Amino acid sequence: MIRNLEKYQSFFEHPISLTARVVMVTACLVVIWAFFAPLWTMSFTSNQYPDPLRLSIHIDHLEGQKTHDRDDLREINSLNHYIGMRPLLESEFPEFRWLPFAIGFFILIIARALFFGSLRDLIDIVVVYAYFGLFSFWNFGQRLYEYGHNLNPEAPIKVAPFTPPLYGRVKIANFWIESYPGGASYALGMFGLLLVVALIIALGHARRIERELAEGEAAG
Q: Which value, to the nearest 10 degrees, does the dihedral of the CA atoms of residues 137, 139, 142, 144 take? A: -70
Domain count along the chain: 1
Q: Establish if 67 belongs to a structural domain.
A: yes
204 inside domain:
no
pLDDT exceeds cutoff 90 at 190 = yes
Q: Where are the beta strands (DSSP E) in the chain?
A: 40-45, 53-57, 62-64, 66-67, 70-71, 168-172, 175-181
Q: What percent of the chain has pLDDT over 70?
A: 92
Average pLDDT (119-123) is 93
**For residue 5, what pLDDT is reported?**
54
CA distance 27 to 111: 11
Q: What is the DSSP secondary-structure string of 163-176?
A: ---SSEEEEETTEE
Using an 8 Å Cβ cutoff, are 201 and 23 in contact? yes
The per-residue pLDDT for range 191-206, each reduced to its tens digit, is 999 999 999 999 998 8
- Distance set, CA 186 to CA 31, 74, 197, 199 (Å): 9, 27, 16, 20
- Whether residue 188 contacts residue 57, with contact meaning beta carbons closer than 8 Å, is answered with no
Residue 220 has a pLDDT of 58
Domain contains 192: yes
Q: Is residue 93 over pLDDT 70?
A: yes
Q: What is the pLDDT of residue 207?
A: 87
- What gap in Å lies between CA 13 and CA 24, rounded to an integer? 18
Tell me the H-state helices in 84-118: 95-116
Span 128-146, pLDDT tens digits: 999 999 999 999 989 889 8
Residue 129 lies in a domain: yes
Q: What is the per-residue burial (b if ≥16 Cβ within 10 Å, else e) of 142-156?
A: ebbeebbeebeeeee
Domain that holds residue 96: 18-199
**Alpha carbon distance 91, 89 (integer Å):** 5
Please list, in sequence order, all residues whose beta carbon lies within 8 angstroms of the beta carbon of residue 22, skipping any fewer than 6 positions away.
Answer: none
Q: Which of 163, 189, 165 is nearest to 178 (CA)?
A: 165
Question: Is 7 within the bounds of a domain?
Answer: no
Q: Is residue 4 part of a domain?
A: no
Does residue 9 fall inside a structural domain? no
Phi-psi region of 150 (alpha: psi -120 to 50; beta: other; left: phi over 0): beta
pLDDT above 90 covers what percent of the chain? 55
Which residues touch 179 (CB under 8 Å, ≥6 apart)?
40, 41, 42, 164, 165, 166, 167, 168, 170
DSSP three-state, residue 59 = coil
**pLDDT, tens digit (0-9, with 9 covering 90-100), for 176-185:** 999 999 999 9
Give the predicted TM-score (pTM) of the model.
0.88
pLDDT (tens digit per residue) in 64-73: 988 878 899 9
In a domain, 206, yes or no: no
